[in-house]
Amino acid sequence: MREFPITDMDIPIDTQTTLVMLENNPGEVYRRLRQEMPIARLKAIDRIVFTKAEDTYRVKTDFEHFGSFDTATPMQRAFGGHTLMRKDGCEHLRERQAMEGAFELSLLCRQWKPEFERLTDRLIDKLVTQETADLLPALAVPLSAGYLKLLLGIGRVTDKKLFGWASALIRGAMNASFDPAIFDVSDQANDEMNECFDQMIAKHMKIPDCSVLSMMVNQLDPIALSQIRTNMKICIGGAVIETRDALLSTLYGLLSHPDQLSYCRDQNVWGRACEEGLRWVAPIQVSPRLVKKSLIMRGIAIPKGETVMAIQASANHDEEVWDQPHRFSVHRDSHAHQTFGDGPHQCLGGDIYRLLISEITLPKLFERFPALSLNNKAAVSFRGFAFRGPTSLPVIFR
C-alpha cells in the first residue's frame, strides 16, 4: 500500500466530548461516536479513537499497519525504561516468554489456587463480625494487592505502598505534558520498586519459586535487569488496579440483579458473571497503538506516525455484536469481549484473574454471606477514562 500525505481534515474531529465526559460517562460518548463517527479525532485528548469492535480488533491484530513500539510517549520516562508493552516482534516475544512460566495452566490449580484460597478465606473471615462495609477497602483492595504480591514474588510490601506505586506509574504514563512534578513522584516510586525487586531477586536466586520475578531471574539466559524491573512495573501498574475495579464492577452487577445472582449461585456458573463483568465495564478502557503505515479504514485516511486509541470499552458495547449492551446480563455469551486484548499483547493474567474471581472469590463470598446486598445503590458511582470502576461499594451482610 502506498504512503500518501494526509491532513487532519481527512479525519472527523469531535469537539463535543470533554475530559469530564470521558471521566464520568464515557459510555454515552462512545455510543454517540459509534453511531456518528466511529473513527474520529477527539479534540479533548488529541487522539484518533476507534470505537467499533471490528476496528478495535484490527488495530490490535493488523501488524502491518499498527504496532506498539513507541518511544515518544511519557510511559518510558514514567517506568524508568522501555517496557514490553511498547515493543513488537522478537524483542517483545522474548520478554513476554521470560515471565510466561508463572502463568502456565499447570500452575493454576497446583500452585496458585490453594494460595489464593487461603488469602480469600482470611479476608472474608475479617468481614464476619461486620454488619456493613464498603467492599472497596474491605475486600477488593487487599485481595487485589494480596494475590498480586504472591504472583509477582515481591514479598511483604504493604497494600498502600503497592497501590501508591501503581498510581504513580499510571499518572506518569499519562503525563502528556511531561510535567516534572508528576515525574518526580514516579521517579520516587521507581527507586522504591527497584530496591524492592533487587532485594527479592537475591532471595529468589537462592530459593526459586513459581512467581513472575523468580521465573525471570532464574532463566538460563535471563533478560537484562533493566527489563526485568520495567516489566515487573507493568504488572503492578495495570493488574492491581484492573483487578480491584473489575471485581467491584462484577459485584455491583450481581448485587443490582438479585435474580441473576440467584441463577449463578443455583447453577454454579460464576464464570458467566466474571466474563460479563469484564465486558460490561472494562477495567482498562483503552489501548494505544502507533500507526506504522498509512491506511484507509471506513473511507477515512489514517496517517502514519499517529498514536491512536482502540477503545475496548466501546467495542464491548458495540450494538452490532451485543444485544442491549448497556445491560448487565450473565445470560449472554460474553466470551467475545475485548477486555483482555487480542494478538501478541493479549493480557497474560487473564486466566489467573478468572481463577481468582470465578472459582474462588465469588463462590466463597456468596456462600459465606447468602444475604449480601447493596446498602445504598444510589451511592455507587463509576469513574475513570483509562481505568474505570466503582469508587465505593457499600453493602449489608445480613
C-alpha span between 348 and 340 (Å, rounded): 8
Mean pLDDT of 291-308: 95
- Classify residue 259 as exposed, middle or buried by CB count within 10 Å of its CB (0-12, 13-18, 19+): exposed
> CA-to-CA distance for 164 and 160, rounded, in angstroms?
6
- Average pLDDT of the chain is 94
What is the Cα–Cα distance from 101 to 315, expressed in whole angstroms? 30
Closest among 135, 26, 95 to 368, alpha carbons compared:
135
Q: How far is CA 203 from each of CA 97, 124, 158, 214, rounded to the nearest angstrom? A: 22, 31, 19, 9
| Average pLDDT over every residue of 61-68 | 94
CA pair distance 358, 88, nearest whole angstrom: 32
Work out whether strand 389-390 and strand 39-42 pair parallel, antiparallel, or are unpaired.
unpaired
Q: Which residues of 369-381 are buried (b: 16+ CB within 10 A; e: fewer)?
A: beebebbeeeebe
Residue 3 — pLDDT band, cuts 50, 70, 90?
Answer: very low
> Where does 256-391 have alpha helices with state H?
258-267, 270-280, 312-315, 350-354, 362-368
- 332's CB contacts (< 8 A; 6+ apart) are 276, 322, 323
What three-state secondary structure class fits 392?
coil
Residue 15 neighbours by CB distance under 10 Å: 9
Is the separation of the CB atoms in 121 and 134 below 8 Å? no
Q: Are 21 and 33 in contact (CB under 8 A)?
A: no
Task: List, for residues 68-124, the tens digit of each pLDDT value.
Answer: 988 778 998 999 988 888 888 889 899 999 999 999 988 988 999 999 999 999 999
Q: Are 324 and 253 in contact (CB under 8 A)?
A: no
Place of cell 481534515: 9
Average pLDDT over residues 291-304: 95
Tell me the Cα Rg of the chain. 21
Percent of the chain with pLDDT over 90: 85
pTM listed for this prediction: 0.94
> Widest CA span of the chain, in angstroms?
68
- Sort strands 307-311 and 47-50 into parallel, antiparallel or unpaired: parallel
Q: The cell 504472583 sits on which residue?
A: 151
- As a whole number of angstroms, the distance between CA 80 and CA 231 comes to 10
DSSP 224: P
Cβ-contact 270, 356 below 8 angstroms: no
The answer to whether 54 touches 144, Cβ cutoff 8 Å, is no
The torsion angle over the Cα atoms of residues 228, 230, 236 and 239, rounded to 10 degrees, is: -90
Which residue ranges form the domains of the chain, and what is each CATH number?
8-396 (1.10.630.10)
Q: What is the predicted pLDDT for the residue at 333? A: 83
Tens digits of residue pLDDT in 123-148: 999 999 999 999 999 999 999 999 99
Predicted pLDDT of residue 9: 53
pLDDT given at position 6: 45
pLDDT in tens, 341-361: 888 888 999 999 999 999 999
> Can you say whether residue 231 is alpha, beta or left, with left for phi > 0 and alpha for psi between -120 and 50 degrees?
alpha
Contacts 24+ apart (CB under 8 A), 300-303: 300/10, 300/11, 300/12, 300/39, 301/4, 301/6, 301/10, 301/11, 302/6, 302/11, 302/39, 302/48, 302/65, 303/6, 303/10
